[in-house]
Chain A
């Protein structure tokens, strides 16, 4: 009965609407959104785009990094430290995420994985390493952001 009540133009219009909806890119799941943020972080690091590395981090993120100090409170303190320890490299760098596992709830999530990193020193010598990484995230106003990052190597390695 309801179909009969619809005029053909309305049916056509509804069909168009459905088609339009189909054409729109599918909304990314929370897991996909978190993966994308972490891949963006890795890519910005790999390509040396330092100003983008922390673009999805909360300002007050607590950061545990590979080298001392024990902790950084806030991205500003972390950003300031980079010039002190980042190795001088030349050419394309290596900074790839492996074995990334993501657990996401409605507004709290975490992820862990391994990072294969390396590059070439200005004298041409190569370096390469593996480190472990854990990220903690919160969804704030509909957007995931990294509120904690923990990267390390086992002691003595």
Chain B
């Protein structure tokens, strides 16, 4: 009896579920797994990305931002979460993070590129979905 009880998973909070979802998303990016990247995005999501375009509306436009990302990212893909805060209500949540990838610096050297990430989520039919993503670097 005790053993059976122990085996039961501990009830997951919304914040835990979202943290796990974002970590899986980042892993899918590293693995170039497009289906994994898009698994929890709403069809009408809006993306503000690091490079142009200014904004990408809808899941297909979002998918295209990853084609651009992979065309310039050195392999193996680095896409790491350095800091992440999740704030979840019952229906709406947001994620604030600092991340880094890499870029080809001067003289062809690979350098670390720090960027900011904010995500907005909604719970749709019991499942957290990303409806907004904002990635950026400060302008220089």
Contacts and interface: CB of A to CB of B under 8 A. Distances in A.
Do A and B come together as binding partners?
yes
Interface of A: 62, 64-71, 101, 103-110, 112, 114, 130, 132, 134, 136, 138, 147-148, 150, 152-157
- What 8 A-B pairs come out closest when comparing CB atoms? A108-B89, A152-B136, A105-B92, A105-B89, A110-B120, A132-B48, A68-B138, A154-B52
Interface string B44-58: 001011111111000
Interface string B98-140: 1000000000000000101010101000000001101011111
B119 to A, nearest CB: 9
B93 A108 contact: yes
Nearest to A107: B89
B96 interface: yes
Contacts of B94: 108, 110, 136, 148
A103 B122 contact: yes
Given A70-B116, A150-B118, 17 more contacts: A64-B138, A67-B139, A70-B137, A103-B131, A105-B90, A105-B91, A106-B89, A106-B90, A108-B92, A148-B94, A148-B96, A152-B48, A152-B136, A152-B139, A155-B51, A157-B52, A157-B139
Interface in B67-92: 85, 87-92
Nearest to B54: A154
Nearest to A132: B48
Contacts of A66: 138-139
B112 to A, nearest CB: 12
A68 B52 contact: no
Given A65-B138, A70-B98, A134-B120, A155 B92 contact: no
B84 to A, nearest CB: 12
A155 B137 contact: yes
Nearest to B49: A154
Chain B interface, DSSP helix/strand/loop, else mixed: strand
Contact of A148 (B90, B118, B132, B139): B118
Contacts of A138: 87
Contacts of A157: 52, 54, 139
Contact of B46 (A68, A112, A154): A112
Contacts of A69: 138
A105 B88 CA distance: 9
Contact of A134 (B91, B122, B132): B132
B138 to A, nearest CB: 4
Contacts of A103: 92, 120, 122, 131-132
A67 to B, nearest CB: 6
Contact of A150 (B54, B93, B131, B134): B134
B118 to A, nearest CB: 4
Nearest to A151: B136
